[in-house]
Amino acid sequence: MNCRLGCGACCIAPSISSPIPGMEQGKPAGVRCIQLDGNNLCKLFGKPERPKVCLEFKACTSVCGARNDEALTNLIELESVTLTVCKP
């Protein structure tokens, strides 16, 4: 599927551990990326400063669902599952 422009769920729900311009430590889960503009579009789209992890994230129906709130819910759930799995 193509990314639903203006969704932005994957720039809010997940934690990102790699540095983001303006958020050098990355970002915690549930925090809006500083590079997400008011229309929920990435200000770094197409620029070399865009983190690799963002480039690699591809829209897919199982995560993005059919609506933005579905994507947010799925990503929040995935984040909590990942955290649980990764705990020592």
Residues that bind ligand SF4 (CB under 6 A): 3-4, 7-11, 16, 20, 33, 35-36, 42, 44, 50-51, 54, 59, 64, 71
The nearest distance, CB 86 to ligand SF4, in angstroms, is 20
Between 18 and 88, name the residue whose CB sits nearer to ligand SF4.
Answer: 18
Q: How far apart are the first and last CA of the chain?
A: 35
The nearest distance, CB 84 to ligand SF4, in angstroms, is 21
Between 50 and 79, name the residue whose CB sits nearer to ligand SF4.
Answer: 50
Between 1 and 87, name the residue whose CB sits nearer to ligand SF4.
Answer: 1
Render 52-76 in DSSP notation, one character per residue: HHHHH----HHHH-SSHHHHHHHHH
23 backbone dihedrals φ, ψ, rounded to 5°: -140, 75
Amino acid at position 9, single letter: A
Could you give the CA distance from residue 28 to residue 2 in angstroms, rounded to a whole number? 26
